[in-house]
Structure 1
Amino acid sequence: MEKNTSSRVCVTGASGFIGSSLVNKLLRQGHTVHATLRNLDDASKVGLLKSLPHADTKLLLFQADIYDPQEFEHAIEGCEFVFHVATPMQHNNLSSQYKDTAEAAVAGVRIIADSCIRSQTVKRLIYTASVLAASPWTEDGAGFKAYLDESCWTPLDVSFPHGTDFTMGYIVSKTLAENAVLSYNVIDGGKLEVVTLPCGLVGGETLLPILPPTVGVVLSQLTGDSNRYNSLKFMQEVIGSVPLVHIEDVCRAHIFCMEQPSMRGRFCCAVASPSIKEIAACFQENYPEYKIAKEFTEGPEGGIKCDFTKLVKIGFEYKYGMKNILDDSVVSGRRLSKSSLSQLI
């Protein structure tokens, strides 16, 4: 499609960190957006979306839950592009249909992809994946490959010291779901184009009234939040570094993938891959008023090499580097965090 041509698109998980920012950017560009939320009775989430520019004429809200993915059918009807951002985070124990989040996530992407095909209007499905599904660990768990790129898939039988049931469940669900949705590039002769964007740790500013979990993880060395810092350590264990990307670039990358005349496949979305030590050094250089405890600077001096050029080679340009990501995350933290970070000047 040509740039600035308005389309009808669907965004699942529209009230989350990435979803709300993506809806905002799409509306500002003149697109009509079908946005899905788990609960249309949630006044704060509905109110946030309805307050966005052009929402009164260009935004339609639909109630849909990944645990009942058939609900997405109506939201997808008539759309040209679908952005599947939603993912189950906590297992719905009342579900008799799925045993865990991984099963729900895989069933969800399959039903959404099938709905795209049945619609006969959807040209491309763009799936928000996670770089945690692209670990360069070797299959035998003996160590890392030379570098990370789109050919890497996280081996699901490797255990990680800082992994929890939640984080390991997340990796399994994102890895299996991404594999499942990419298979549609060959199903039915590839009638549906599927693009996946394995995103790094997302930082930056937010439209939400609370600090997004990923921004909390970015800031964990400054805030001294040990639980979120464990997530940072877990990412470094899985990837060998901490791939970072700004929320604005995440949204721009999604829209870039929509704007291409034809596109399918896997494209990593991150601009830098520092180690925990390198992130701490950047924070200390730019925010010397806050001292990072030694136990929050663990790990190797540098991160594993990552090749994030596949998206760039077809014309995408990142606007925000590592310092921008950390600075804008601090802005969010000062505004929204209840931790000591909010006291920083």
Structure 2
Amino acid sequence: MEEQSNFYKVCVTGGSGFIGSCLVKKLLERGHTVHATTQNLGDESKVKVLKSLPNAETNLVLFQANIYNPDEFGPVIEGCRYVIHLATPLQHNPAGAASSSPYKDTTEAAVAGVRTIADLCSRSATVKRLIFAGSVMAASPFKEDGSGYKACNDESCWTPLHLPYSSLKNDMDLLAYVRSKTLSEKELLGYNVGELEVVSLICGLVGGDVQMLGYVPMSVRAVVGQLTGHPFSYLGLKSIQELSGSVPLIHIEDVCEAFIFCTEQSSMKGRFMCVAVDPTISEMAEYFQNKNPKLKIQDGLIVEAEKGSCCDISKLKKMGFSYKYDMDVILNDSINCAKRFGLLQL
């Protein structure tokens, strides 16, 4: 299975998304061959970005694949050494398969998707490691009895899905996302037996700016939710605060480097917290007001929030990974991204 070359073939599901497009770019720049999926090859706005990347003409192969039809990922994975699974359904609207979908919701679709992809990797003669994009929303340090937070938010934490989180009760899509990320990650880690190595990066809220994208990613919208006042964006930020006891953050550049780091290790498996900093929502508000006095927090969105739990990010660091972007850069780059698209006005 081991190759002598320093260049290898990597599958990236969800390759046209925020993390996916940045990750594909970095892999191509390093000389690797990339198999990337998108839900619709006819979506010129996304496909054009990927095809314009350095080395894309020779080293990038695009596939149309939908998580609601996980068998479509077979040809994508074929011949790959590493599989980085980013794709996840955000809303229950399976493109082209709404009436015939065997799944009742996003959770069923996400779990079935990781099961099929893990099975394909296990049967593959080439795949060494399957790397999953986990979420801090699946790793809440809330105690099972709902009495408060554990002192530390680390890889042992799983979100108790039976608790009535106040920020989630009025948004079924967000609640479904938390359930799908939690249960699909648990499903995937069950494959960490035999020769296949399974890694889950528990990613914080991803901020920053990617110039090549023609939109503001949902996670960046959440980062600046207190400034825009957009209800859904702010709700996402507030939900992370409630679930995590803070707002774990990571820059888009760091999270992509973390995924690549996972492909470069001789052996690696299990969960790894992938978070650079963990301010509270009120600490973020204070930063915005102090560093950007011309930008105002929207009325009613200055929320006093004490830190309920601190993220332990030592596990990934002990393996040699280092974060290059601090809170100042994460928040400032997110502001700049929102400004470029007119979401924030001076």
Q: What is the TM-score with the length of structure 1 in the denominator? A: 0.95
- What does the per-residue CA deviation read over 1:33-83, in whole Å, with 9 as the maximum and x for residues that have no partner? 001111111111111100111100000011110000000000000000000
SS in 1 for 2:190: helix
Relative to structure 1, the CA distance from residue 57 to residue 280 in structure 2 (aligned partners, 3 Å threshold; closer, same or farther) is same
Partner Cα separation in structure 2 for residue 62 and residue 325 of structure 1: 32
Q: Which residue of 1 aligns with 2:38?
A: 37
- How far apart are the structure 1 equivalents of 2:320 and 2:334? 27
Aligned Cα RMSD in Å?
1.5
Name the CA distance, whole Å, in 1 between partners of 2:309 and 2:328. 19
- Give the % identical residues: 57
User: How many residue pairs get matched?
Assistant: 338
8 Å CA contact 2:275–2:311 kept in 1: the answer is no
In structure 1, the partner of 2:70 is 69
AA paired with 1:166?
A: D
Partner of 1:323: 328
Runs of 4+ in 1 over 6 A off after TM superposition: 1-4
Q: Distance in 1 between matches of 2:101 and 2:128?
A: 33
1:201 maps onto 2:201 in alignment:
no
Corresponding residue for residue 178 of structure 2: 171
Which residue in the other structure is 1:25 paired with? 26
One-letter amino acid matched to 1:17: F
1:185 equivalent in alignment to 2:211 = no
Question: Residue 127 of structure 1 contacts residue 196 of structure 1 at CA under 8 Å; is this kept in 2?
Answer: yes
What's the CA shift for 1:227? 2.5
Structure 2 gap ranges (5+): none
Rounded Cα–Cα distance in structure 2 between residues aligned with 1:191 and 1:279: 43
Aligned to 2:7: 6
For 1:29-108, list aligned pairs within 5 A: 29-92=30-93, 93-108=98-113
Among candidates 220, 231, 241, match of residue 226 of structure 1 = 231
| Match among 250, 253, 258 for residue 248 of structure 1 | 253
* 1:267 matched to 2:268: no
Quick one: structure 1 residues 58 and 280, their matched pair in 2 at CA, closer, same or farther if it must change by over 3 Å? same
Stretch deviating more after TM superposition (309-318 or 139-148): 139-148
In the alignment, residue 84 of structure 1 is paired with which amino acid?
H
How far has the Cα of 1:3 moved from its partner?
A: 12
Aligned amino acid, residue 271 of structure 1: A
1:294 CA displacement: 5.2
- Asked whether the 8 Å contact 1:277–1:302 carries over to 2, the reply is no
Q: What residue identity is the alignment partner of 2:275?
A: A
Distance 1:280 1:180 in 2: 37
Code of the residue aligned with 2:29 in structure 1: it is R
Aligned residue for 1:299, secondary structure, equals: coil
SS at match of 1:280: helix
Quote the offset at 1:95 in angstroms: 4.2
Structure 1 contact 134–198 (Cα < 8 Å) conserved? yes
Tell me if the contact between 1:116 and 1:192 (Cα under 8 Å) persists in the aligned partners. yes
Tell me which residue corresponds to 2:297. Answer: 292
* More helix as a share of residues: 1
Q: Does 1:116 align with 2:124?
A: no
Distance 1:36 1:237, change over 3 A: same
Matching residue's letter, 1:169? A
> Contact 2:68–2:101 at 8 Å: present in 1 too?
no
Report how far residue 25 of structure 1 moved: 0.6
Q: Deviations over 1:145-198 (max 9, x none)?
A: 111000000011111111111111001000000001111112xxx221000001
Letter in 1 for 2:64: Q
Give the letter aligned to residue 178 of structure 1. E
Q: For residues 305 and 61 of structure 2, what CA distance do their matches in structure 1 show? A: 48
